[in-house]
Amino acid sequence: MSHGIKRVALLFAGGPAPGANAVISTCAISFIRAGIEVVGIRYGYSNLIDYSPSSPLVEGQHYKMLTEPSLRRTRSKEGIIIGTARANPGKQVTSPADLEHPEKSAPLRRVYDGLRSLGVDALVSIGGDDTLKTANKLKAFQDRLPEGQKRMPIVHVPKTIDNDYAGIDFTFGYFTAVETLGTEIRNLHADAEAARAYFVVESMGRSAGWLAYGAAIAGEANMVISVEDITAEYLAPESTPKRKVMDLDKVVARIVRMMRNRQEREGKEYGVVVLAEGLAEYLSDEVIASMPRDDHGHLSVANCDLGKMVAKRVAAEFKKQTGITRKCTGIQLGYECRCARPHAFDVMLGSQLGVGAYRALHEQGLNGVMVSVSGQLDLHYVPFEKLVDPQTLVTVVRFIRPESDFHRLARFLSSFDGE
């Protein structure tokens, strides 16, 4: 049932997520017990992308052989035992035609050659939507190889604390991240109450508001605002269908209105507001023009410091309206949760996804699929073509549906405190 697989590679790319080692450990042990060797590629694609035959990959430095003894009691371990990186070998490939271009597809060729130099027969890719894009491009590159040349089947395991993945309900690490940030928010709430102040928390979650909403609910924040809340009412005049720009003054006014309601109706002079970092993408062109972008073209929202920007404006507007000086402190949260010890659910979910990758390759002979679960962690497999636009090779972000029950829950709980 091995479908000719004698050695499989496991690769993790992108930001860390709690439960990563549950995926790696369970997947690797499944293959090992089936008599298949497992190579752990170290630090994502960063070593493979520069591979050349004259500079072979070195065990211990660029990869390590995973064994059952080395994987004992690692499912609940923090961090990533094979490391990670954001190197992007598909950076120059933005359409199927680019796969035929020798220069643009050269990094994918080096990744392929590097894996084959290690005798790898199949690849398990673990990562976010950008890593899924890379997995799809590497498969498409192999599909174009001359007849008779070895093709390595690829199976992808979805990973992101942002939980904005199409094709799966919840990604491993999300609930641990929510609980970790929720705890931080509860601590800030106690601090705010003691000092009669406000904290404006900028929460990780690059595109959608899942993490910000979850953390706000778990942390009992007084307000949460994400990209899904930037409706027509909060758009600036310069907005276009292709480029939404939020009216920051209106967003600030909304926060101040909540603060005044809490103070005037309930005598509460403190609180915590949670903002999704993805709101930075909705700032004006003038503000984001000088901000750096990563290897995948995403805005480096951490450099924007949205929380501090909004907190400063909120304090000024509150004083303008009330004549009262209210301390507002902006804080960024997110890195604290990415390598936290995973909760039981994330260990179980990660373990099932790891086993799913093994079953997809070893038992079913699948290629070009993402492992997913539903119901009672029932496994199923989603083809890449259902997750990636065939023309742009870009994945689809799963936003919170406006007026969905989850969206309404966060809005309902916020209204308790006078929004």
**pLDDT tens digit string along 171-207?**
999 999 999 999 999 999 999 999 999 999 999 987 8
Structural domain boundaries enclosing 409: 175-339+401-415
What is the overall mean pLDDT for the chain? 92
Residues 167 and 310 in one domain: no
**Do 140 and 248 share a domain, yes or no?**
no
pLDDT of residue 3: 73
Asked if 311 and 353 sit in the same domain, the reply is no
Summarised one tens digit per residue, pLDDT across range 252-311 is 999 999 999 999 999 999 999 999 999 988 888 776 666 656 665 656 666 678 999 999
**Cβ(8)–Cβ(123) below 8 Å:** yes
Tell whether the model's pLDDT for residue 415 goes beyond 70: no
How does pLDDT run across 83-139, given as a tens digit for each residue?
A: 999 999 999 999 999 999 999 999 999 999 999 999 999 999 999 999 999 999 999
Strands across the sheet containing 37-41 = 63-66, 37-41, 7-12, 122-127, 154-158, 369-374, 378-383
Domain of 84, CATH number, reads 3.40.50.450
Domain assignment present for residue 207? The answer is: yes
Domain count of the fold of the chain = 2
> Which pLDDT score, from 0 to 100, does residue 289 have?
60
Query: Do 96 and 36 lie in a common domain?
Result: yes
State whether 186 and 330 are in the same domain: yes
Within a domain: residue 131?
yes
Structure-block tokens of residue 269: 């002079």
> Residue 8 half-sphere exposure, CB side, CA atoms within 13 Å?
31
Q: 252 and 115: one domain?
A: no
Shared-domain flag, residues 134 and 14: yes
With bands split at pLDDT 50, 70 and 90, how would you rate the model's confidence at 418? very low
Angle between helices 20-33 and 344-358 (to 10 degrees): 40
